[in-house]
Amino acid sequence: MESMKKVVIIGGQTAAKIGELFASAGVKVAILDSLTDSADELARADIVIEAVDGDGGTRKEVILRCDEVIPPGAILATTASSAITETASLTGRPGKFIGLNFTFNPFQEGCLVQITKGLETAAETIKTCTDLLKGAGVTAIEVADLPGLVLDRVMASAINEAAIMHMTKVATVEDIDSVAKSCLNWPVGPFQFADVIGIDNVLATLEILSREVSPRFLPCRIFKQMVAAGRLGKKAGRGFYTYS
């Protein structure tokens, strides 16, 4: 077997979850919540994954800092779901830059990684990441660098259409969710799903998709209104449903 890769993950909650996934599979992993005082770990890393929760600004800062301090041969990855090529171009290693977007199933066990190839990402970089994930028993797919990748795009289409149905009085939120489960065998209804991932996230995804992929993703008006009113979903106690 090839020498074991040393993985460093940077970030908070998401980083911890990813770290756990690797650690439980016996992969050598270190989790850093900041870049200060971690020079040793970073200097020895084979793969560094930026998994910062929050806005793009912080992500970018972390990525650029890592690019300076990690070994020239190391792979630099981000968990962001868009602009891989663009971010790669800001680093000195576009061939060794890649997207590793982790989605933890919010309803049951399961995790999927969308391995996102930037325009310049080298085949060897993809292979190293694929092997690492395979070795850790994590299901992964390869996707092109396009906003929403696979998961967000398909789900955004369904959620937006459900919202349009609701707003045009085809049926109630409850009845649409009920049909999704009892007629289509879906694990949850589109509105329950939207509440779990956050209405702000749904709106942001639809906005980027409508700008960069197609106007067919034009967000239903309800999402903007809900965000304005603070009905951000489960995390806010209220979205399409009320949570206590």
Partner 1 sequence: MEIKKICVLGAGLMGHGIAQVCAQGGFEVTLEDIKEEFLQKGLDRIKKFLDGSVARGKTTQEEAEAVLGRITTATSLEEAAGDADLVMEAIVENMEIKKETFRQLDKICPEHTIFATNTSYQSVTEIATATNRPDRFMGMHWFNPPQVMRGIEVVKTERTSPETVAIITSLCQQLGKEPAICHDSPGFIANRLLQAWRTEGLRLYDENVASFQDIDKALKTAYGFRMGPFELADLAGMDVVMAGNETMYNELRSDVFKPPRCLVMKFRAGELGRKTGKGFYEYK
Q: Which residues bind partner 1 (CB under 8 A)?
A: 103, 105-108, 110-112, 114, 139, 141-144, 146, 149-151, 153-158, 160-162, 165, 168-172, 175-176, 178-187, 190, 193, 214-216
Tell me if residue 143 falls in helix, strand or coil: strand
Minimum distance of partner 1 from residue 99's CB (angstroms): 13
Task: Rank residues 74 and 149 by Cβ distance to partner 1 and give the closer one.
Answer: 149
Length of the chain, in residues:
244
Minimum distance of partner 1 from residue 29's CB (angstroms): 22
Q: Which helix (H) or strand (E) holds 132?
A: helix 123-135
Minimum distance of partner 1 from residue 3's CB (angstroms): 29
Instruction: Give phi and psi for 198, each to the nearest 5.
Output: 100, 130
In this structure, what token pair is assigned to residue 151? 């998961």
Minimum distance of partner 1 from residue 207's CB (angstroms): 16
End-to-end CA distance of the chain: 51
Residues 6+ apart with CB under 8 A from 238: 230, 231, 232
**Alpha carbon distance 16, 7 (integer Å):** 13
Task: Rank residues 107 and 243 by Cβ distance to partner 1 and give the closer one.
Answer: 107
Task: Rank residues 155 and 204 by Cβ distance to partner 1 and give the closer one.
Answer: 155
Task: Rank residues 4 and 119 by Cβ distance to partner 1 and give the closer one.
Answer: 119
